[in-house]
């Protein structure tokens, strides 16, 4: 049995003082594989105090010193990649390939930030000729919040940017991923950082999260999670004017133009919709299809989705693993029922577990056609393997429907004509648009517009999220 009962504070693993114990459940078979003792507010305060003690000295560290720390973290994460992959499969139900990717990414993002840092000019001339300089300085102690659906990747990428900037941090992983968080913390410990530069407390949002989110010693919050929680974080931050970056909910559109090569585009569009078993903020869950090509697309999508393997996440042939828990399973069933009730046409999947699977939080990958953009399945983030296909009459119509959402995280455009695709992409109200690809550029800015978030991660903008300009003007 796995047992997680330690926080990481001031460079040491210390016993959790919180009293709540939660089961760690393998979502593929619903067996209890361990228990985690959740941190308390008091634990969070101790972690913040440790970070605050480390901050002044860390803020004065040189770029070369920070690069050395980041390289040690990169190596330590790589050395733990196998256990990180296993914990993602067992605790989260992540399919093998996805879990391997996340485990590798947890290391790679430290390497990526080193590239950014090595080329970043912290001091630059500003204002009138020769009079002013502006130096980018660390914002201060940072609270880093991670969701359960990409635990290792989110924790590592936020930490990479905070350390690169010279910010000590308190990490608050999701209470639904305590084992993954513990293993990442072991890797962090092996990198032998100065005490207090990284602290990790896994607890509930309502107490541990709220403590970090409102404590006066915390200067910056970098949050990834849902839009409703993001609102709470932003409100709580206002009293002490914390700087806030929010990476939130998505309801991304995949725009298929009428010249697209369907043999190439449909597998990519399905990759976008069903990545991470559909539990992805950037999932392309609205597929916008020209009416002229609708029949072809529906036939191809239906055949491909009916052939998707759902089951044991460890099996390399599996595309869709279990949902993380019963609540997610029920949420997806609810939306499938809403789709049917609101008149969408079921093309594949439907309610209940796939045939032959009697336990585990498995759902049927589901596709609806004849979806209108005012239906719940087109407006709300389902966070599971459910794809809506919507007909469009022109590129203009596709752009209007894609933009008719309170969210704006990522968009996808598929076309044989990249210049035309780019013209469409330029008009999508999203933080990122991927043309004829699903893989992101992890050194380019990433983040949402509208209610999908505030600020950007990755690359120089991701680094600057943990920096502030100080201008010095000389007489």
Phi, psi at residue 377, to the nearest 5°?
Answer: -70, -20
By CB under 6 A, what part of segment 381-410 binds ligand NAD? 381, 383, 409
By CB under 6 A, what part of segment 277-336 binds ligand NAD? 281
Kindly tell me which residue out of 453, 455, 459, 462 binds ligand NAD, with binding defined by CB under 6 A: 453
**How far, in Å, CA of 334 to CA of 347, rounded?**
17
Beta bridge partner(s), residue 246: 223, 454
- Exposure b/e, 28-55, CB count within 10 A at least 16 = b: beeeeebbbbbbbbebbbbbbbbbbbbb
Q: H/E/C letters for each residue in 218-278?
A: CCEEEEECCHHHHHHHHHHHHCCCCEEEEECCCCEEEEECCCCCHHHHHHHHHHHHHHHHH
Choices 4-12, 61-69, 126-134, 203-211 (CB under 6 A): range interacting with ligand NAD: 203-211
Judged by CB under 6 A, does residue 207 bind ligand NAD? no
Interface pattern 120-149 for ligand NAD (x via CB under 6 A): -------------------------xxxxx
Kindly tell me which residue out of 27, 196, 225, 321 binds ligand NAD, with binding defined by CB under 6 A: 225
Interface pattern 160-199 for ligand NAD (x via CB under 6 A): ------------x-xx------------------------
Question: Minimum distance from CB of 245 to ligand NAD (Å)?
Answer: 10
**How far, in Å, CA of 51 to CA of 54, rounded?**
5
Choices 184-192, 244-252, 352-360, 432-440 (CB under 6 A): range interacting with ligand NAD: 244-252
Beta bridge partner(s), residue 469: 136
Judged by CB under 6 A, does residue 229 bind ligand NAD? yes
First to last CA, the chain: 67
Kindly tell me which residue out of 209, 322, 365, 385 binds ligand NAD, with binding defined by CB under 6 A: 209
Question: Minimum distance from CB of 378 to ligand NAD (Å)?
Answer: 16
| Position with the least CB separation from ligand NAD | 205
Residues that bind ligand NAD (CB under 6 A): 145-150, 172, 174-175, 204-206, 209-210, 213, 224-226, 229, 232-233, 247-250, 281, 381, 383, 409, 448, 453
């Amino acid at each position: 049995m796995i047992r997680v009962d330690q926080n990481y504070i001031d460079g040491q693993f210390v016993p959790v003082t919180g009293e709540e114990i939660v089961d760690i459940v393998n979502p593929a078979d619903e067996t209890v594989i361990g228990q985690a003792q959740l941190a308390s507010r008091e634990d969070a305060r101790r972690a913040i105090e440790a970070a605050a003690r480390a901050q002044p000295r860390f803020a004065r560290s040189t770029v070369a010193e920070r690069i050395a720390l980041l390289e040690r973290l990169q190596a330590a994460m790589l050395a733990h990649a196998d256990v990180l992959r296993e914990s993602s499969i067992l605790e989260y139900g992540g399919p093998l390939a996805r879990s391997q990717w996340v485990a590798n990414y947890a290391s790679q993002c430290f390497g990526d930030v080193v590239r950014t840092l090595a080329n970043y000019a912290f001091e630059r001339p500003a204002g009138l000729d020769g009079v002013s300089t502006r130096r980018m300085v660390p914002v201060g102690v940072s609270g880093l919040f991670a969701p359960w659906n990409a635990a290792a990747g989110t924790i590592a990428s936020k930490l990479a940017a905070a350390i690169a900037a010279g910010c000590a941090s308190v990490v608050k992983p999701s209470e639904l991923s305590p084992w993954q968080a513990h293993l990442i913390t072991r890797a962090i410990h092996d990198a032998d950082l100065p005490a207090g530069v990284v602290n990790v407390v896994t607890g509930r949002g309502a107490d541990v999260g709220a403590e970090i989110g409102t404590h006066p010693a915390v200067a910056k919050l970098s949050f990834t999670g849902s839009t409703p929680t993001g609102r709470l974080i932003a409100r709580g931050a206002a009293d002490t004017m914390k700087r806030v970056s929010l990476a939130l909910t998505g309801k991304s559109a995949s725009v298929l133009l009428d010249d697209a090569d369907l043999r190439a585009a449909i597998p990519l569009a399905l990759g976008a919709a069903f990545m991470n078993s559909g539990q992805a903020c950037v999932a392309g869950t609205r597929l916008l299809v020209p009416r002229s090509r609708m029949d072809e697309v529906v036939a191809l999508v239906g055949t491909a989705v009916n052939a998707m393997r759902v089951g044991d996440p460890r099996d390399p042939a599996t595309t869709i693993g279990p949902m993380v828990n019963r609540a997610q399973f029920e949420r997806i069933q609810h939306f499938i029922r809403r789709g049917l009730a609101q008149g969408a046409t079921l093309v594949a999947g439907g309610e209940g577990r796939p045939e032959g699977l009697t336990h585990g939080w498995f759902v049927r990958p589901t596709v609806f056609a004849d979806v209108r953009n005012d239906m719940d399945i087109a407006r709300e983030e389902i966070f599971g393997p459910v794809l809506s296909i919507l007909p469009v009459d022109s590129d203009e119509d596709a752009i209007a429907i894609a933009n008719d959402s309170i969210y704006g995280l990522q968009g996808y455009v598929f076309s044989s004509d990249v210049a035309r695709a780019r013209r469409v992409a330029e008009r999508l109200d999203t933080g990122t648009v991927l043309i004829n690809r699903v893989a992101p550029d992890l050194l380019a800015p990433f983040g949402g517009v509208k209610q999908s978030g505030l600020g950007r991660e990755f690359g120089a903008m991701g680094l600057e999220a943990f920096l502030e300009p100080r201008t010095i003007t000389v007489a």
